[in-house]
Amino acid sequence: MTFSTTVIKYFASLREKVGRAEDVLDMSEPATVAELWQRLHDDALLPDTLRVAINHEFAMPDDMVQPGDEIAFFPPVTGG
């Protein structure tokens, strides 16, 4: 079985909420964004308000993450 390192980054207020800037996960099989979040956060559901990117491209919770991809989670942008 071959493993590839997947880097998961957290940005802005989300970084403070989870208490770290990134996670590193060795993956051998693809998983959805939502499954990856659950694996890293004690089976918690992916919050609807979070945005995600896979390899710098916006993604949806059901999109597949391949071993070795870079994932970024960030809160929605607000302005005023």
pLDDT at 23 over 80: yes
DSSP string across the chain: ---EEEEEEE-HHHHHHHTSSEEEEEESS-EEHHHHHHHHTTTPPPPTT-EEEETTEEE-TTSEEPTT-EEEEEPPP---
CATH architecture of 4-74: Roll (3.10)
Q: How far is C-alpha 2 from the chain's CA centre?
A: 21
**pLDDT of the residue at 68:** 95
Distance of CA 26 to the CA centre of its chain: 13
Look at residue 55 in the predicted model and tell me its pLDDT: 98
The domain limits of the chain are 4-74
| pTM: predicted TM-score of the whole model, two decimal places | 0.89
Query: Model confidence over 27-67: pLDDT tens digits?
Result: 999 999 999 999 999 999 999 999 999 999 999 999 999 99
The pLDDT value recorded for residue 80 is 59
Statement: residue 79 has pLDDT above 70: no
Cα–Cα distance for residue pair 23/38, rounded to 1 Å: 13
Q: Which pLDDT belongs to residue 21?
A: 97
